[in-house]
Structure formats: C-alpha cells, structure tokens
Amino acid sequence: MTTSNTESQEVRASSNFLRDIIAEDVRTKKFGDAVIQTRFPPEPNGYLHIGHAKAIVLDFGLADEFGGKTNLRFDDTNPEKEETEYVESIQADVRWLGFEWEKLRYASDYFGQLYEWALALIKAGKAYVDDLTAEEIRQYRGTLTEPGRDSPYRNRAIEENLDLFTRMKAGEFPDGSRVLRAKIDMASPNLNLRDPVMYRILHAAHHRTGDAWCIYPMYDFAHGQSDSIERVTHSMCTLEFADHQPLYRWYIEQLGIFPSVQIEFDRLNLTYTLLSKRKLLQLVEEGHVRGWDDPRMPTLSGIRRRGFTPEAIRAFVASVGATRTNGIVDIEMLEHFQRDDLNRRAARAMAVLRPLKLVIDNYPEGQEETVAVLNNPEDLSEGTRLVPFSRELWIEQDDFRETPPPKYYRLSPGREVRLRNAYFVTAQSVVRDAAGNVVEVHCTYDPKSRGGNSPDGRKVKSTIHWVSKAHALSAEVRLYEKLFSKPDPGDVEEGKTFLDNLNPNSLEVVSEAKLEPSLGSAQPGERFQFERVGYFCVDPDSTPGKLVFNRTLALKDSWAKIEKKAGG
Ligand code: ATP
Ligand code: MG
C-alpha cells in the first residue's frame, strides 16, 4: 500500500457491513492464521470508472485496515473483448487512486489449473460435455416458475466425456458446437445451478495466451477458483453476483480447495451518469466524446483529466460506504467532495473567461506596478505572488452592465467597485462598436485605495477580478456540463436509446480567455481556482504556446444547498 496513514483514515472513517464481517472473521479465526487477502478483479474490456473506484477502495482499503494484502487480478476469460490497452490503463488508474497491489495476476494464469480441475470434475461424474446448441440449452433451462429438463447428453459415460473434452481442447470442434457443463440440479430454484456451462469453444486469440487455447472457462468457473488459488479470504463483488454465490461455493466445495468467501455489496450509481463499460465504449466508438479520457466521461482517466483528485474520490467513496441494497447517489455529492478538496489545496489565480476591456483614464499611461496576492487564502503557508497591474485591464463581460438590473452590484456607470487586491474604480463611460455593443469601459481609480483597501471607510458592494491587458496570456478554456441531461440517463422511452439523453451542450470551448502571466508555467494536470469563476486544471493538450484549461467544476456548490434543505 502506498497510502499514508491519513489517507487510510479517510477510508476507515465510515462504517460499512463489510468491515464488520471481516472483523468478525478475524476474531473467530475463520481462516485460521491466513492473512486477510482480497483482490480487485476487473475485466480488461474497457477503462475503469468511478464505480470501480468504490470496489477498489473497499478491496484495498479493508485489506489494509486488517493488515492484509490485495491482488490486482485481470478477469480475462473473454478473449474477444479484451485488450492490452485496457490492462495498462487499469493499472495506471489503480495506482493513481493511491493503491499498490501485492501481486499482479490474470485469470489466464490459471487456465492450465482450471483445465485440470475440469478434468477432475468430469472424472468425479460432476461434469459432462453437452452437444445441445446455445439456444437449446436456454430452452432446456426452464424458467423461474418451471424446472429445467435434462439434456439428452447429461448421462454420457465419464470416458466419453473425457474424450470429448480433451478433443474440444485439441481444437477438433467448431465454435459453439459443444460445451462442458457442471452436473448439478436441473430443478434448482436458482437458475445458475441448472447445470451451468463451465467451458465454451472459441477459436479466438487471447491478449496473453494467444492461440494456446480454443476453449475458455466461463466467469463462474474461473472466478472462485482463481480466488481460491490466491487464498483470497474475502471476495467482495457487487450485488448482481449474489445469485452466483451458490455456484461459487459449489465449485470450491467439489474441488476441496481453499474456501474463499464471496460477499456482495451495492453498486455505485450516480445521477446523470452511466457506469457501464459497454455503454461508455459505445460513446467512445461512435465519437460522442473525444475518447475514454474525455473530461466529461465518468472514467477515472476522464475525471482525472477533468481535474478531480484521488483524495476527493477516496473520501467520497468512503462516505458513501457499502450496503446490501442498490441505490443512487447524487452527482452533486461527488462534486461537493471535490470542491472541498480543491478549496483547501488549489492555488488561486485570476483569469477572465469572456473579456471586456477596462481603461483607467486617470492611471498614468506607460506606468505599471505589481500587487501582492495570496496564493491560497485557505492555506497561508502557500505565500503570495506578485501580479502585474496597469492602465488597461480585462474584466468579465458579466461584471459590467450599462443599465444594471435590480440587485446588480457590480460595475455600472457611476458605480464604484473594488478590483481585487488592487484599487477602487468608478465606471465613467463606454465605447461601442458599429453594432452598438459595449467594447470598452472607461473608469477612474482612487490611488489611495491601493491593495483594495478603503482609504476613508467608504464601502463598495462588490469586488471583481481582472487581468492586466499588456501582460495577459491567452488560453483556450473548455467548459463542461453534465454529459447527460436526465438524472437517469439509462431510462429511455420506447424507440429511443441512452444516446438520446446526451446533453447537446456538455462542452463549450472558450477560445480567448485571458490569464494572469503566472499561469504561463503551469504544467498539465496542475489545478487552480480561478477566483470567482471555478476550479480549473491544465489539459494535456496544453503547450507553452497554446495553453488549454479544463473547468473541473464551477464554484457553486449545489450539494451544500441540498444538504441544508434536507436538514443535514
Ligand atoms: P461494467 O458493467 O461497467 O463493465 P463490471 O462489473 O462488468 O462493470 P468488472 O471489470 O467486472 O466490471 O468489475 C471489477 C469489479 O468492480 C467487480 O468486483 C465489480 O463488482 C466492481 N464494480 C463494477 N462496477 C461497479 C460499481 N458501479 N460500483 C461498485 N463496484 C463496481
Ligand atoms: Mg464484467
């Protein structure tokens, strides 16, 4: 584990039933002297998303709490969907979240052992080769209200099964022509126990084993035994596997191997978000987003690029905890944790997204000065920096109104406001373009208000940010909104798909934002609070000649409001 003590405490802070189970198993020595061992078992068929972060924090965090270890194991039993690109991105994402695995393993490491175990089950009369087609197997399986029927091949002799299975492995039969099934109970109320398929024939190249195999184990035949080989004590997974648990136990019991225990917890669901690799892959492949790491994606690589921090994600996930019923969490709660973290840590800077020129008529032409600005008012140890100030500035278009509406206290003709950390200014007149739009505001300043301090106790109602025009850097700023416009994007009307719920305005590109010059040395990944505007981070597309920033989040915290309303 690379997490420091404080970081593990984050994870420890919230209670969840998984912790209680492990604590009890440790107390009763359920696994004898074995150390607590967990695993995080992603299928390398896509990039990890924020839902996986929950599983990672539980798998790694709980093991760590009990002095145990966690393996990263790729569940790579579907050669057709799996790729090395995903294997690499998953490792990078787990490390970025702050965790280090004990062993790196692949289910495919165990293909040989699993094959041996399949032979053992055949020899024990517990498995048979079935020639029914996939469709016939489905029909024979029955339904929740009707028992299944035995396959005509169910009672094949052991010798015949051994012969057919070895020939399946040797590549004698085409895809889909035969399967190996466990012989359990065709009348079981649990459909997973009605002679589940153990192996299928698939002449497909595997990302690691290449063409060595043309039969591949099913998830259920691979997962529990892989856990067992790794002496996993607590195999935590999401609730959709609860119905598979009897089968998980059946294989382990029949084989008499290390008794790993599966425990299910609730999937993380977030409003306005889809957490399914299959659907996220579709967004990427069809070009609805710019890639897996598009900052609008809920993938870990997407939200990392957006500027989210591992600290905030861990704290969020720990706060959500684990239960035994699926629910849905407001995306605002995740954003709240992220704002909280950035508010404490992000350096402040001044940036104007939609520039309007402000000229200080009584400020001497050619003069310039620097004003001292705190780097982070939440953390005085971050010190101050000097920001250049001069006669011509950029301010936000929104900070000036020629005819101010009621309760508008920012700049307007005759009104005095504070330029942050600099001076009091009073707007005097405007310059218009041919179309009548205000393109320049002229004002006067009070030299005695230096530092933004009132010279005589008179008050101004607002403070606005600014950037010196002569010193400003231009930047592209990408503003993101939610990727979907519906709280439950998976909820679609007839004839529509989740793609119809995409928010057409999820990306707005501001091409000529103006930044204070200190931002010129900012490196990709660096995070800032642009004062009064929001949290931003430098995009990897950024170069010294062309700065590119992503908006992580706007400043407004709607979650705090939701919480307050709820009396929290
Ligand atoms: P997806 O449907 O997005 O492909 P998956 O469950 O198929 O997800 P896996 O790669 O098999 O993805 O998942 C690895 C681990 O992460 C599993 O233990 C799974 O239960 C867990 N996991 C996946 N999605 C979530 C989620 N939304 N919340 C919590 N855990 C999750
Ligand atoms: Mg899966």
Asked if residue 54 has its Cβ within 6 Å of ligand 1, the reply is yes
- Encode burial over 489-504: b for 16+ CB neighbours within 10 A, e otherwise: beeeeeeeebeebbbe
Asked if residue 266 has its Cβ within 6 Å of ligand 1, the reply is no
Which residue among 141, 149, 231, 267 is the active-site one? 267
Asked if residue 322 has its Cβ within 6 Å of ligand 1, the reply is no
Query: Per-residue pLDDT tens for 267-299?
Result: 999 999 999 999 999 999 999 999 999 999 999
Average model confidence (pLDDT) across the chain: 94
Asked if residue 353 has its Cβ within 6 Å of ligand 1, the reply is no
Active site residue 65: no
pLDDT (average), residues 221-237: 98
Q: CA 133 to CA 179: how far, in whole Å? A: 9
pLDDT of residue 12: 47
Q: CA 54 to CA 289: how far, in whole Å? A: 24
pLDDT (average), residues 321-330: 94
For the CA of 241, the closest atom of ligand 1 is 20
pLDDT of residue 556: 83
Query: Per-residue pLDDT tens for 147-158?
Result: 999 999 999 999
pLDDT (average), residues 317-336: 95
Asked if residue 43 has its Cβ within 6 Å of ligand 1, the reply is yes
Query: Per-residue pLDDT tens for 13-31?
Result: 456 899 999 999 999 999 9
Query: Per-residue pLDDT tens for 498-545?
Result: 999 999 999 999 999 999 999 999 999 999 999 999 999 999 999 988
- What phi and psi values does residue 191 have, to the nearest 5 degrees? -60, -25
pLDDT of residue 81: 86
One-character DSSP codes across 109-157: GGHHHHHHHHHHHHHTT-EEEE-S-HHHHHHHT--SSS-----TTTT--
How remote is the CA of residue 2 from the centroid of ligand 1, in Å?
23
Which residue among 54, 69, 200, 277 is the active-site one? 277
How remote is the CA of residue 323 from the centroid of ligand 2, in Å?
20
Question: Reduced to 3 states, what is the DSSP secondary structure of residue 165?
Answer: helix
Q: How confident is the model at residue 382 (pLDDT cuts 50, 70, 90)?
A: very high
Query: Per-residue pLDDT tens for 177-222?
Result: 999 999 999 999 999 999 999 999 999 999 999 999 999 999 999 9
Asked if residue 238 has its Cβ within 6 Å of ligand 1, the reply is yes
Question: Reduced to 3 states, what is the DSSP secondary structure of residue 530?
Answer: strand
pLDDT of residue 557: 63
- 426: burial class by Cβ within 10 Å (0-12, 13-18, 19+)? middle
Asked if residue 298 has its Cβ within 6 Å of ligand 1, the reply is no
Percent of all residues in the chain with a pLDDT value above 90, rounded to a whole number: 93
How remote is the CA of residue 75 from the centroid of ligand 2, in Å?
8
Residue 331 neighbours by CB under 8 Å, 6+ apart: 270, 271, 272, 273, 482
> Which domains, ranges and CATH numbers included, belong to the chain?
1-270 (3.40.50.620), 334-348+474-566 (2.40.240.10), 352-472 (2.40.240.10)
CA atoms within 13 Å, Cβ hemisphere of 15: 4
pLDDT (average), residues 427-432: 98
Residue with tokens 């103006």: 514
Minimal-distance CA residue to ligand 1 atom 10? 42
For residue 232, the ligand closest to its alpha carbon is: 1
The best mutation among 47, 82, 238 to test binding of ligand 1, ranked by most ligand atoms within 8 Å of the C-beta, falls on 238
Closest by CA to 283, choosing from 35, 49, 562, is 49
Cβ-contact 161, 122 below 8 angstroms: yes
For residue 90, the ligand closest to its alpha carbon is: 1
For the CA of 46, the closest atom of ligand 1 is 4
How remote is the CA of residue 512 from the centroid of ligand 1, in Å?
41
pLDDT of residue 14: 58
Determine how β-strand 179-182 pairs with β-strand 197-201.
antiparallel
pLDDT of residue 565: 67
How remote is the CA of residue 51 from the centroid of ligand 1, in Å?
7
One-character DSSP codes across 190-224: SGGGSS-EEEEE----BTTTBTS-SEEE-HHHHHH
Res 11 pLDDT > 50? no
Which residue among 30, 43, 65, 83 is the active-site one? 43
Q: CA 382 to CA 377: how far, in whole Å? A: 8
Cβ-contact 298, 50 below 8 angstroms: yes
How remote is the CA of residue 214 from the centroid of ligand 1, in Å?
26
pLDDT of residue 476: 98
pLDDT of residue 3: 38
Residue 262 neighbours by CB under 8 Å, 6+ apart: 224, 227, 235, 236, 237, 241, 244, 245, 248, 249
- The H-assigned helical ranges of 154-294 are 158-169, 219-229, 245-255, 277-285
pLDDT of residue 567: 55
Closest by CA to 369, choosing from 248, 253, 468, 236, is 468
How remote is the CA of residue 503 from the centroid of ligand 2, in Å?
27
Q: Work out the angle between the directed axes of helices 5-13 and 50-65 (0-180°, nearest 10).
A: 110
Q: CA 524 to CA 537: how far, in whole Å? A: 7
Asked if residue 131 has its Cβ within 6 Å of ligand 1, the reply is no
Asked if residue 277 has its Cβ within 6 Å of ligand 1, the reply is yes
Minimal-distance CA residue to ligand 1 atom 13? 42
Asked if residue 479 has its Cβ within 6 Å of ligand 1, the reply is no
- pTM of the predicted structure, to 2 decimals: 0.93
Query: Per-residue pLDDT tens for 105-146?
Result: 999 999 999 999 999 999 999 999 999 999 999 999 999 999
Active site residue 43: yes
pLDDT of residue 563: 59
Q: How confident is the model at residue 566 (pLDDT cuts 50, 70, 90)?
A: low
- The H-assigned helical ranges of 299-449 are 300-306, 310-320, 331-345
Active site residue 267: yes
